[in-house]
Amino acid sequence: MIERTLFQPEHEMWRDTVRRFIEAEIVPFHDQWEKDGIVPRELWLKAGAAGMLCCTVPEEYGGLGLDYLFDVVVFEELWRVGASGPGFLIHTDLVATYLLTFGTEEQKQQWLPKMVTGEAIGSLGMTEPHAGSDLKAIRTKAERDGDDYVINGQKVFISNGQMCDILVLATKTDSAAGAKGVSLFLVDTSLPGFNRGKNLDKLGMKAQDTSELFFDNLRVPASAMLGGEGDGFKIMMTKLAQERLAQAIRSATVIETVIGYTIEYTSERKAFGQTIADFQNTQFVLADLHARGVAARVFTDKCVELFMAGKLDPVDAAAAKMVTSELHCEVVDKCLQLFGGWGYMWEYPIARAYADARIVKIAGGSIEVMKTIISRELFKGKLSARK
């Protein structure tokens, strides 16, 4: 394996700390959380006390003020053990960064210290029953009423929806203005008019709660708006590269992990008088997946480097997300095949990895959307005008 050069000794020391926390506080209980469909709030408080939430938040808001790689270490170690819950990624990588980049000083002081400690859990409310990747098509409305906005509508597939205390909510403040009519609000979920629907029963990622949310004349102060009125779509676009990079990091990590425990299993399991690993087919399948996994990891690490330097192009982020997601799904499928019937049993990590993998072609923008982004760049100015 090509040596990764991203991390410094302090990052690897942090990795050891994170790994010990996960082994003690998450791994022994994760099976039960998958049955429950949610992780306990106590875990968030423990993670906050351990410094695992929002590592990049500056000290003036209660954080450690560390670099992005400290967050990356937390995510990688969770994915390495197949922890589909908790939803630290949404909380840390998206909600906190929205606040840090676009929040007012009052908003930051109100929410960030509690997010760092795990007292306030963050969620992102964008997807609707009729609007997934097409965020301009959302129907949730926010209408001005004096010093407040009154919000009506619904969201679906919202990670951390059952537990969130703060929600970055995408709304339409001008239904006729298309993308320029989208505005974001920081919603305090204790307010009247905010209602949680059922915890959705998903194919995979079963320990991460995912919800329907409803807004019935929810009144929020104008000071809860994130950015200016009509700036919502523009703000969301600035964070898509980071969201897609996180998906690529996840896939690169799971690819390595799944190949690793498939090598262990096939080296011990016997058939026809020899181990599964003795068959040339097994060797060739895993050699091919490993080689492409290394390429995906190197590409992803380069994108992390670019992101930290403020130079990650949205097209490159889309490409990283696309190739790693597709390889992720191929790896879990081919590796499960090498486990035979046992690979179909939920008690084996490969079964969970297989179920959890399918979302990666959808989350952060579908594969088809990634291809559209890339092809538009490739053919910029060369395609016929649409009628």
Query: What residue ranges in the chain does DSSP mark as E strands?
Result: 122-125, 141-145, 148-159, 166-172, 182-188, 194-199, 210-221, 225-226, 270-271, 274-275
Estimate to the nearest angstrom the gap between the alpha carbon of 224 and the chain centroid: 24
With b meaning 16 or more CB within 10 Å and e meaning fewer, what string describes 170-180?
A: bbbbeeeeeeb
d(CA 371, CA 12): 35
Please report, to the nearest 10 degrees, the dihedral formed by the alpha carbons of residues 351, 353, 356, 362 taken in order: -130
Alpha helices in 82-229 (DSSP H): 88-89, 96-102, 105-117
d(CA 207, CA 186): 25
Residue 305 annotated to the active site: no
Lookup: tokens for 319: 């490409």
How far, CA to CA in Å, does 4 sit from each of 11, 259, 294? Answer: 12, 18, 10
d(CA 137, CA 179): 8
Angle at 316 between CA 312 and CA 321, to 5 degrees: 110
d(CA 151, CA 98): 20
d(CA 363, CA 375): 20
Please report, to the nearest 10 degrees, the dihedral formed by the alpha carbons of residues 239, 241, 243, 246 taken in order: -140
Which candidate in 243, 268, 305, 326 is catalytic? Answer: 243
Q: Are 171 and 141 in contact (CB under 8 A)?
A: yes
Sign of CA dihedral 210, 163, 244, 255: negative
Catalytic residue list: 243
